[in-house]
Structure 1
Amino acid sequence: MNYKYIIVLFCIALPAYFLYWYFLIRPTKYGTVIILNGPSASGKSSIQKEFQSITYPDSVWIKVGIDNLFDTPMPNITPENMHLWQSQNNLRWVETSKDNHENNIITLFVGPDGDKIAYGMNSAIAAYAQNECNVIVDYIAYKKEWIIDLQNKLANIQTYWIKVDIPLEILEQRERTRATSPAGHARSHYDTVHWNIAYNLIVNSHTQTAAEIAQKMKEFVTNKYLYKQKSLE
């Protein structure tokens, strides 16, 4: 028997098996992600806070989203540079129009540099989960490409997609009351924000309070977890 060949084969096979085990077999422990997707002013941040409150200290959920991972990192909008945000550029801009019923529509457009920030946001969401954090996300899917990218990055992570529904009339009332975004912005993406996503759960922030929705989500996620654990036994 030629021991030299055996040693060579062993030296090749061992690293190959280690790589196979590390990337394909090695058990991984990730956090869970909840994506709250819905239009601006639909109450997602209130749901986040309520969910955090009723799950702590049994479990810790961190809240992130479109505001602190996409909007806040952008350059500030000031009176001096306002004109930059009202014409097409590589980052983002808004355009004002009216629909067939003369309703005001303020549409956000995102350029290639803005898309990079959105994809960075998606990577950050996945990174939190990969570091064993449970994450509840306030999301507005302005582009279908954002959703595809996020789904790919969360492919190996337990993720629950939750649709936050609300009648447009009620949504616009909230938008005017809150005054955190210009009237007409929510209408601009109301019909497109869901992009035929296969949701795990649908909630209505008009017929249910944030506390009621949070409780429903907690029960849903808990039951899914218990069912998964039972299936593994």
Structure 2
Amino acid sequence: MTTRTTPGAGAATGAEGPRRGFGGLIVFLNGTSSSGKSSIAKELVGLFQEPSFHLAVDAFHAMRSKPELTPEQLPAVLRRTWMGFHRAVAGMAGAGNTVVVDHVLSEPWRLRDCLELFPHRDTVLVGVRCPLPELERRERARGDRPAGLAAGQFERVHAHAVYDIECDTGDASPAECARRIEDFLHRRTTPTAFERLAAERA
């Protein structure tokens, strides 16, 4: 299995491990469509001893009503949905909940928005990778994604290049990835990926 932490991290922040309640921790899974984020998230929340929430952006898109939209209207509607999703995540974490998020950082503004909203010390950024041929195979098997969606996102999603931990679902199951992530939460380090990304953009 390929799972690695990002070089350059400092001292561990939680020697006692993830405490009950986590204090509003956000576990942020970023990867292309069909990379396995939702499957990892479902496994991960099952490992936590305290109540936690899996918030998926696809669920927010599914909640939106379906009026006829022109091609000119659609980008603004999609952007508002993403922005609302980010604020829902921030609100849940701000109330002290543990939140596992699956996300697609294929547009730079999405990361900027999250950096403004999410607590940098208490956000764990997880890169979910998968080889492109396997992504395309999964996409065809699913049949519910536009052809070429994952390929179009492949280079852009990880362009920021900074993570706390990464997983490759091409050679590891969702359960294996979830266990590695849960183990990492017991030995989180600083500065976090969000702290480093925020410093780069300061």
Q: Spell out structure 1 runs of 4+ moving beyond 6 A.
A: none
Higher relative helix content: 1
TM value normalised by structure 2: 0.77
Matched with 2:32 is 39
In structure 2, distance between residues paired with 1:164 and 1:62? 19
Identity of aligned residues (%): 27
**CA displacement at 1:117 relative to structure 2:** 1.8
Larger radius of gyration: 1
**Aligned equivalent of 2:63, options 65, 68, 73:** 73
Cα distance 1:171–1:142, how it changes in 2: closer, same or farther (>3 A)?
same
TM-aligned CA deviation for residue 134 of structure 1? 0.2
**Which residue identity is paired with 2:65?**
P
State the AA in 2 paired with 1:191.
Answer: E
Compute the displacement of 1:73 (Å).
3.1
Q: Deviations over 1:172-204 (max 9, x none)?
A: 001111112122111111111123142101100
Q: How far apart are 1:61 and its partner, in Å? A: 1.9
| Partner of residue 130, structure 1 | 94
Is the counterpart of residue 205 in structure 1 residue 196 in structure 2? no
- TM-score of the aligned structures, taking structure 1 as reference length: 0.67
| Distance change (3 Å), C-alpha of 1:173 and 1:121 | same
Residue 136 of structure 2 corresponds to 172
Distance 1:199 1:67 in 2: 22
Q: 1:130-152 CA distances to partner (integer Å, 9 max, x unpaired)?
A: 11110001101231101100111
Q: How far 1:157 sits from its partner (Å)?
A: 5.4
Bigger mean CA deviation after superposition, 150-159 or 195-204: 150-159
How many residues are treated as equivalent by the alignment? Answer: 168
- Structure 1 residue runs of 5 or longer lacking an equivalent are 1-28, 92-110, 226-233
